[in-house]
A and B are shown apart, each in its own frame.
Chain A
Amino acid sequence: MWHELARPEIWVPWLLGMAFGILVGSTPGLTATMAVAILLPVTFHLPAMAGLAVILGVSFTAIFAGDIPATLLRIPGTPASAAATLDAYELQRQGHGAPVLLTNLFCSAIGGLVGVGLLALLAPQLARWALRFSSFEYFWLGVFGLSLSAVLTPGQAWKGMAAAALGVLASTVGWDEVAAVERYTWGRTELFGGLGFIPAMIGLFGLAEVFRSASHRLARRPDARLEIRSASSRALRTVLAHPRLILQSSLLGTLIGALPGAGADVAAWVSYGLAKRLSRRAQQFGQGCWEGVVAPTSANNAAVAGAWIPALVFGIPGDAVTAIVVGAMLMYNIRPGPNLFHENIHQLHLLLAIAFLTQLFLIPAGMIGILGFRLFIRLPHSLVMSAVVVFCVVGAYAIEQKWFHVMVMFGFGLLGLWFDRHQVPVAPFILGMILQPILELNLRQGLIKSDGRFQAAWERPESLVLMILTLAMILGPAMWHVVRRIVAGIARPRTSESSP
């Protein structure tokens, strides 16, 4: 297996992908999802394993690279680095810039290793259990994932749900194979294949970000110098001083990452919060505390691996990046799901090996990235943004060499701008687009098998549990709010009676 990975057609694009991940992740405003979305069309011209290696390399390195501008500029390179910004930036101001960046790097690599370890350990067990699933369980799992993403994403839950519904609706455009009928194509043959989720991703993440950032002035660039050797020993001492915190944050990050909709950003914030709550130095958090750097940076990379658990086992992506990857895997004729663990075991082992090695390569790649950031940071922002537009256009065109996809990408760029105006989360929209075929196919297959009886959707215990979980998650917060108001209403007259 390892000799396959040693082939230049795999490791050369893999390392280049990691370099690209560093470049994009460390550019404020450009996200890891955007890096994957832009690079995805390029990977289709590579062998399947090389393509997936590139995507894995990009996603892990971009999440780490987001910590570089977070530390130096107080601007998180990706949303997953926002939690790390607080203490990392304060420590950098106190003159610990280089050790902080290297601590970020080591913690990211360890977090990623723990995440990949858990992925390798848990995924086959879950897959064995998932083999018992019928169509309706997959349907409910899809609805559960979609609802979870809508409820958990930052902002108002109803906007997340509306975005998810809109994503499902957008994904129904095209030819319906079950009933052999066209939907929302208005007779245009280009639309028979659907809107295409790759142009949608590129538009929503790449172009929309350029539109958004065009109205904001940029920060002045810092002058950064780095002495790797002395900083490395300081960073290593920090890592060795916090083994429990790193393990706790990595495990928590993996588990949170595995929840659909809760990505690396949520994992980083939760780990930061837990570290603060359990720390004896809670007062120092936010003012330059090393624990405040270790916890979120371990968790965010672990969450990237965690997101692969539901993606590989059920075909239900855990976050936006894996949503794109699941789509890419389908294009490579790799069908994620429990059968992957029996039919394509070799491919699965290759994937896990790539994920594992990526964590090891992350350390040299990250060091080069930190040094390279000093040069890259001097590039004018306007040039970077114009290059992003050009890459968005070429990326959308390169998929099938159709200019129609470029126009679709532009349309989604405008939609992203509208989402930004209304603070609508993009992740539920993407999950809606990706999950719609899984949801619809399983629902209709289930109904066909049960002669159209809708009751069959909750007759099996597994389906019933998943349905109750989904409903509890959607209605739970509102019901809890009502109960609290009723309890407060009952308690108030009593307290007023008891007061003199």
Chain B
Amino acid sequence: MFSAHPARTDETAAPGSNRGARGGVSEPTWKALEWTVVGCAVALTAWLAGGGRSALVLSPGDPGPWLVPWSAAAILAVLAIGSGIAGLVGRRSVGAPREQETPARPAGRWIVVLLSAGYIVVAPVIGFGVATVVFVVSFLKTTSQRWRWWSAVVAAVALTLYVVVLFEKLLQVPLPRGSIGW
């Protein structure tokens, strides 16, 4: 039989505690405004990037290549502006998130984002194998306290070997070699 002990998480922060104020404006309003700015910027870029280009109409009756992207951009802009207005007016249904779990370590995700970005930039330069070992060791050491240097290196080398054998040997996918050669 299973005698599984129920798991206990360390997350004790109350839901909805992200409703902090920023200069007197509640976070949901900020989020709604962020939506407005990003949505409008994307829609405007989509509009301007397609504007002024003369599309070659190969078939009579064809509305051209910009009808669909511009329609999508227009829908996006309307929804983004609507969310901003509703957020400012204070309608709870638009800007306010319902229950949201609060991250236990909010900085953790940005460390992982930076590590992943570094890995993706460096790998084609120094080679996939070396970059993967360096990335996995850095990942293990920064995201968990339990890894010692030697165990992190062993795990990283094992994982890299597994991936290289699987892709290069079995699936015949050549991985980037870089300046070091592997």
Q: Which of A178, A212, A414, A443 has the most CB of B within 10 A?
A: A178
Residues of B within 8 A of A450 (CB): 61
Residues of A within 8 A of B56 (CB): 179-181
- CB pair B105–A447 under 8 Å, yes or no, is no
Q: Within 8 Å of chain B (Cβ to Cβ): is A372?
A: no
Digitize A384-406: 1 where CB-to-B-CB distance is under 8 Å, 0 elsewhere: 01110111011001100101001
Number of A interface residues at 8 Å Cβ cutoff, please give it. Answer: 89
Contacting residue for B65 out of A181, A212, A394, CB 8 A? A181
User: Which residues in chain A, 353-370, are within 8 Å of chain B measured between CB atoms?
Assistant: none
Q: Within 8 Å of chain B (Cβ to Cβ): is A120?
A: no
User: Which residues in chain A, 104-145, are within 8 Å of chain B measured between CB atoms?
Assistant: none
User: Which residues in chain A, 134-191, are within 8 Å of chain B measured between CB atoms?
Assistant: 156, 158, 161-162, 165-166, 168-169, 172, 176, 178-181, 183-184, 186
Answer whether A386 and B1 are a contact pair too, CB < 8 Å, given A158-B83, A220-B8, A448-B61: no
- CB pair A214–B39 under 8 Å, yes or no, is no
- CB pair A45–B171 under 8 Å, yes or no, is yes
User: Which residues in chain B, 114-155, are within 8 Å of chain A measured between CB atoms?
Assistant: 116-117, 119-120, 123-124, 128, 132, 135-136, 139-140, 143-144, 146-147, 155
User: Which residues in chain B, 70-113, are within 8 Å of chain A measured between CB atoms?
Assistant: 72-73, 75-76, 79-80, 82-83, 93-94, 97-98, 100-101, 103-109, 111-113
- CB pair B42–A212 under 8 Å, yes or no, is no
Q: Within 8 Å of chain A (Cβ to Cβ): is B25?
A: no
Q: From B49, which residue of chain A is reached at the shortest CB distance?
A: A184
Interface locus among A92-100, A264-272, A273-281, A335-343: A92-100
Answer whether A217 and B9 are a contact pair too, CB < 8 Å, given A224-B4, A448-B60, A451-B61: yes
Q: Which of A178, A381, A390, A452 has the most CB of B within 10 A?
A: A390
The docked-state distance in angstroms from the alpha carbon of A407 to that of B139 is: 19
Answer whether A423 and B106 are a contact pair too, CB < 8 Å, given A178-B65, A225-B2, A390-B135: no
Q: Within 8 Å of chain A (Cβ to Cβ): is B22?
A: no
Q: Within 8 Å of chain B (Cβ to Cβ): is A333?
A: no
Q: From A41, which residue of chain B is reached at the shortest CB distance?
A: B173
Q: From A185, which residue of chain B is reached at the shortest CB distance?
A: B49
Digitize B1-26: 1 where CB-to-A-CB distance is under 8 Å, 0 elsewhere: 11111111111000000000000000
- CB pair A225–B3 under 8 Å, yes or no, is yes
State the Cβ distance, B18 to closest chain A Cβ, in Å. Answer: 10
- CB pair A179–B7 under 8 Å, yes or no, is no
- CB pair A179–B65 under 8 Å, yes or no, is yes
Name B's interface SS. Answer: helix
- CB pair B105–A216 under 8 Å, yes or no, is yes
- CB pair A74–B60 under 8 Å, yes or no, is no
Q: From B53, which residue of chain A is reached at the shortest CB distance?
A: A181
- CB pair A393–B123 under 8 Å, yes or no, is yes
- CB pair B119–A389 under 8 Å, yes or no, is yes
The docked-state distance in angstroms from the alpha carbon of A225 to that of B3 is: 6
Residues of B within 8 A of A447 (CB): 61-63
State the Cβ distance, B14 to closest chain A Cβ, in Å. Answer: 15
The docked-state distance in angstroms from the alpha carbon of A387 to that of B156 is: 9
Number of B interface residues at 8 Å Cβ cutoff, please give it. Answer: 88
Name A's interface SS. Answer: helix
Digitize A442-463: 1 where CB-to-B-CB distance is under 8 Å, 0 elsewhere: 0110011111110000000000
Q: Within 8 Å of chain B (Cβ to Cβ): is A475?
A: no
Residues of A within 8 A of B1 (CB): 95, 97-98, 225-227, 230-231
Contacting residue for A178 out of B62, B112, B143, CB 8 A? B62
Contacting residue for B9 out of A218, A230, A444, CB 8 A? A218
- CB pair A166–B59 under 8 Å, yes or no, is no
Residues of B within 8 A of A452 (CB): 60-63
Residues of B within 8 A of A158 (CB): 79, 82-83, 94
- CB pair B171–A390 under 8 Å, yes or no, is no
- CB pair B120–A393 under 8 Å, yes or no, is yes
- CB pair A390–B53 under 8 Å, yes or no, is no
Q: Within 8 Å of chain A (Cβ to Cβ): is B41?
A: no
Q: Within 8 Å of chain B (Cβ to Cβ): is A237?
A: no
- CB pair A223–B5 under 8 Å, yes or no, is yes
The docked-state distance in angstroms from the alpha carbon of A221 to that of B4 is: 9
Q: Within 8 Å of chain B (Cβ to Cβ): is A222?
A: yes
- CB pair A382–B140 under 8 Å, yes or no, is yes
Q: Which of A156, A382, A385, A403 has the most CB of B within 10 A?
A: A382
Q: List 25 A-B contacts (CB under 8 A).
A: A45-B171, A93-B6, A162-B75, A178-B58, A184-B50, A210-B116, A217-B10, A219-B8, A220-B7, A382-B139, A382-B143, A382-B144, A383-B155, A385-B112, A385-B143, A390-B160, A394-B163, A403-B123, A403-B124, A422-B97, A423-B98, A443-B67, A444-B63, A448-B62, A451-B60
- Sample of 7 further A-B pairs with CB below 8 A, known A165-B76, A230-B1, A390-B163: A162-B83, A178-B58, A215-B105, A220-B5, A223-B3, A224-B2, A386-B156
- Give me the 9 closest cross-chain CB pairs, A-B, nearest first: A97-B2, A219-B7, A215-B103, A222-B4, A452-B61, A214-B112, A382-B144, A386-B139, A176-B65
A interface, CB within 8 angstroms of B? 42, 45, 72-75, 89, 92-93, 95, 97-98, 101, 156, 158, 161-162, 165-166, 168-169, 172, 176, 178-181, 183-184, 186, 207, 210-212, 214-227, 230-231, 380-383, 385-387, 389-391, 393-394, 397-398, 401, 403, 406-407, 410, 413-414, 417-418, 421-423, 432, 436, 439-440, 443-444, 447-453
